[in-house]
Structures are given as structure tokens and as C-alpha cells.
């Protein structure tokens, strides 16, 4: 009897109050319905046009924009990765670069909060002031710069993930701060850094549209100086979206872009969870 009473009490304590539970449930429902509706709409409108967008001779095709996407990603990712990882290494231990590292951590928050279009506009102005022609290549540089804070933040997270005890143990053995960062924390962070790289690539592929348009706006021929002569796929979706005649093809292109990003994010998440499981075991 007493046990029943305790069990009943325990059960009643676990049940969430009805009003917040309803509110959270409604929010989750709105989110799910929105995502399903958007993707459903893309499939409904886009799938009938799939044959068209994969036709290399069709002006609404996605192959050239996909190659342009790869072009921008290949140009933008390495500088973002190199600057991001090195900045994170400097910020990972305040003893390596002292006040510089502290300032960098603060700057990271500030720089990361600057609207992307403003960075793109600054890149455009910089290109013009140097007498360069704005182009898809210039746009890639702007895309790279705007993703540097994200890469730095993700790399910093990878380097310092559960690292306090390891830093303490290695420091107590007479290892210098730089040795700890370079020889211990960095190799340990490789799997997470690979995940970070994929996530930044996802950003470049999916969120590059506004930046690419602004930074490469005045490119000769309207499509920049990329050898492909096309905008990245995200830009195509954005620009075609306003043309009423191309809604079906735009939906198909958007579907291709969505699937591409989901694949990249899926790979990044699978890698991250596999690594988390491995580190839990350790």
C-alpha cells in the first residue's frame, strides 16, 4: 500500500503542468507542420520539373549552378578553415597568446554578429577600392570571410571539448601551453574539426546567396568571372524565385539544394555522434 502511494506520488511529480506542456507541444507542432509543408510543397512542385533541371541544355538546369557552388565552396572553404583553426588554437589557451587570446574570444562574438550582407558589401567596396572587378571569385572570398567566425567558434569548441582535465594533467607533467594545444588538443579534436568543416561547407553551399549577390553584384556579364558562367545554386534559387515563369524549375532546384545540404549535415552529425560515442567510451 505504502509502495503504491510512493509510486503514485512519483508518477504525479513526473507529469508536466498542463499549460506549459500544451504550449511546448503546440510550438513543436507548428515547427513540424511548417517543415513538412515546405518540403512537401517543394516535392509537389519540384519533382515534375526534375527532368528539366537535370537537362544540361535547359536554361533552368542546375548542373552549371552546382559546378559554380563547388567552385565557390572550394575557394571559400580553405581560407575559412585555416584562419578558423589557427585562431581557435590561439584562443584555446589564454596562456599561449595571453591577452590576444582573450581579445580574440571577445572579437569572435562581435564579428560573428555582423550581418552577412554588410560583410559582403564591405568586400565589394574593398574590391572596388583596389580596382578589382567584383566577381564570383570575389564573392567566394566574402563568403569565406563571413564563415571564419563560425569556423573559429566550431574549432574552439572542438579543441576545448572536455579538455580541462587533459590540459591539467599534461600541464602538470611539464608540457608547455603550446605543446598541449598542438600535440594533445589538436590531434584529439581532428574528428570534430572534420565535422566543423562539413558544417561550414553546408553554410557556404546553402547560405551564400545574399553574400555572393552583393559581393559579386557588378561582375561582368552578370554571372561573374567564374569559368562556369553561372551563379551558385543558392543564388539561382533566390533570383529565379522572383520570376513567376520559373516557379516549377525553381522548386526543383531548391529541392536539389535542400537534399545536398541535408546530406552534408547528415554526414557531419553522423561523424559528431560517432566521435562522441568513442569519447564517452574513453
Partner 1 sequence: MPDRAPLETKIEVNKLAVWYGSQQALRGVTFDVASKTTTALIGAGGSGKTTLLRALNRMHDLNPDVRVQGSIKIDGAEILGHGVDTARLRRNVGMVFAQATMLPTSIGDNVMFGLAAQGIREERAMRDAAEKALRRAGLWEKMADRLDEPAAGLSDVERQRVCIARALAVDPDVLLFDDPTALMDPIAALAIEDVIARLRRDHTLIIATNDLQQAARLADITVYMANGEIVESGDTPLIFNKPGDVRTEAFLAGRTP
Calpha distance 148→104 (Å, rounded):
12
Helix (H) or strand (E) holding 128: helix 116-129
Measured from the CB atom, is 52 or 95 closer to partner 1? Answer: 95
DSSP-derived letter for residue 55 is -
* Whole-angstrom distance, CA of residue 232 vs CA of residue 205: 8
Distance CA 63, CA 69 (A): 10
Question: Candidates 15-23, 62-70, 139-147, 159-167 — which segment interacts with partner 1 by CB under 8 A?
Answer: 159-167
Task: Let me know how many helices (H) and strands (E) the chain has, helices first.
Answer: 14, 0
Which of positions 176-195 make contact with partner 1 (CB under 8 A)?
A: 176, 179, 183-184, 188
CB of 179 to partner 1, least distance (A): 5
Cβ of residue 162: shortest distance to partner 1, in angstroms?
10
What is the x/- site pattern for partner 1, positions 49-88, by CB under 8 A?
A: ----------------------------------------
Q: Within positions 84 to 123, which residues make up the interface with partner 1, using CB under 8 A?
A: 94-95, 102
Residue 132 interacts with partner 1 (CB under 8 A): yes or no: no
- What is the C-alpha separation between 200 and 144, in angstroms, rounded? 9
d(CA 44, CA 268) in angstroms, rounded, equals: 28
Among 41-49, 163-171, 239-247, 249-257, the segment contacting partner 1 (CB under 8 A): 163-171
CA distance 129 to 124: 9
Task: Check binding of 173 to partner 1 (CB under 8 A).
Answer: yes
**Interface residues toward partner 1, by CB under 8 A:** 94-95, 102, 165-176, 179, 183-184, 188, 279, 281-282
Amino acid at each position: 500500500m505504502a509502495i503504491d502511494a510512493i509510486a503514485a506520488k512519483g508518477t504525479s511529480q513526473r507529469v508536466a503542468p498542463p499549460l506549459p506542456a500544451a504550449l511546448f507541444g503546440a510550438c513543436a507542432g507548428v515547427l513540424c507542420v511548417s517543415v513538412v509543408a515546405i518540403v512537401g510543397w517543394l516535392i509537389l512542385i519540384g519533382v515534375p520539373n526534375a527532368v528539366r533541371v537535370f537537362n544540361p541544355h535547359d536554361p533552368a538546369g542546375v548542373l552549371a549552378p552546382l559546378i559554380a557552388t563547388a567552385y565557390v565552396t572550394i575557394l571559400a572553404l580553405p581560407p575559412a578553415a585555416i584562419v578558423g583553426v589557427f585562431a581557435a588554437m590561439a584562443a584555446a589557451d589564454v596562456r599561449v597568446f595571453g591577452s590576444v587570446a582573450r581579445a580574440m574570444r571577445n572579437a569572435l562574438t562581435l564579428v560573428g554578429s555582423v550581418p552577412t550582407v554588410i560583410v559582403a558589401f564591405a568586400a565589394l567596396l574593398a574590391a572596388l577600392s583596389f580596382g578589382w572587378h567584383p566577381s564570383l571569385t570575389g564573392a567566394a572570398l566574402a563568403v569565406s570571410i563571413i564563415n571564419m567566425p563560425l569556423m573559429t567558434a566550431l574549432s574552439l569548441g572542438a579543441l576545448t571539448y572536455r579538455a580541462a582535465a587533459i590540459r591539467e594533467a599534461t600541464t602538470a607533467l611539464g608540457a608547455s601551453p603550446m605543446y598541449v594545444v598542438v600535440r594533445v588538443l589538436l590531434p584529439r579534436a581532428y574528428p570534430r574539426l572534420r565535422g566543423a568543416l562539413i558544417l561550414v561547407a553546408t553554410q557556404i553551399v546553402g547560405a551564400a546567396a545574399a553574400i555572393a549577390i552583393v559581393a559579386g553584384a557588378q561582375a561582368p556579364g552578370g554571372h561573374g568571372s567564374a569559368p562556369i558562367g553561372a551563379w551558385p545554386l543558392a543564388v539561382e534559387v533566390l533570383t529565379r524565385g522572383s520570376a513567376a515563369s520559373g516557379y516549377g524549375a525553381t522548386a526543383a532546384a531548391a529541392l536539389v539544394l535542400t537534399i545536398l545540404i541535408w546530406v552534408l549535415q547528415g554526414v557531419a552529425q553522423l561523424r559528431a555522434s560517432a566521435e562522441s560515442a568513442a569519447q564517452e567510451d574513453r
